[in-house]
Amino acid sequence: MLHIYCPHCAETREEEEFRPKGEAHIARPVEPEATSDEDWGNYLFFRKNPRGLHHELWYHAAGCRKFFNVTRDTVSYQIHETYKVGQKPSVTADKGAAK
């Protein structure tokens, strides 16, 4: 069971309080009607499934009801950072883990 730091509550809480919501940073196209069928399909249905670092959207459902992002290693389950919606991750697959 993961131990997750909620950046809104500023506390580390048990996974039971949270719900995973899939890949983070999936922006809805600004002009959906001008988006091709293929691009819209990609937006709707296609997600990364990396082995290693992954940026995920989580929801503090039984807590503050806020969404936030988690950079998690899908192999070791290590959580490298959590950050608010609208912020950019500081740990990425290109830059490598901070520690």
Note the residues at the interface with another protein (CB under 8 A): 1-3, 14, 19, 21, 27-28, 31-33, 35, 37, 40-41, 43-45, 57, 59, 61, 65-67, 75-79, 85-86
Q: Are 72 and 80 in contact (CB under 8 A)?
A: yes
Q: Name the residue nearer to another protein (CB basis): 75 or 98.
A: 75
Q: Name the residue nearer to another protein (CB basis): 10 or 27.
A: 27
Minimum distance, C-beta of residue 76 to another protein, in the bound complex (Å): 7
Provide the strand spans (E) within the chain.
Answer: 3-6, 11-14, 19-23, 53-59, 67-73, 79-84
Q: What residues pair up with 4 in beta bridges, in sequence order? A: 13
Minimum distance, C-beta of residue 40 to another protein, in the bound complex (Å): 6
Q: How far apart are CA 31 and CA 41, in angstroms?
A: 14
DSSP at 92: B
Minimum distance, C-beta of residue 37 to another protein, in the bound complex (Å): 5
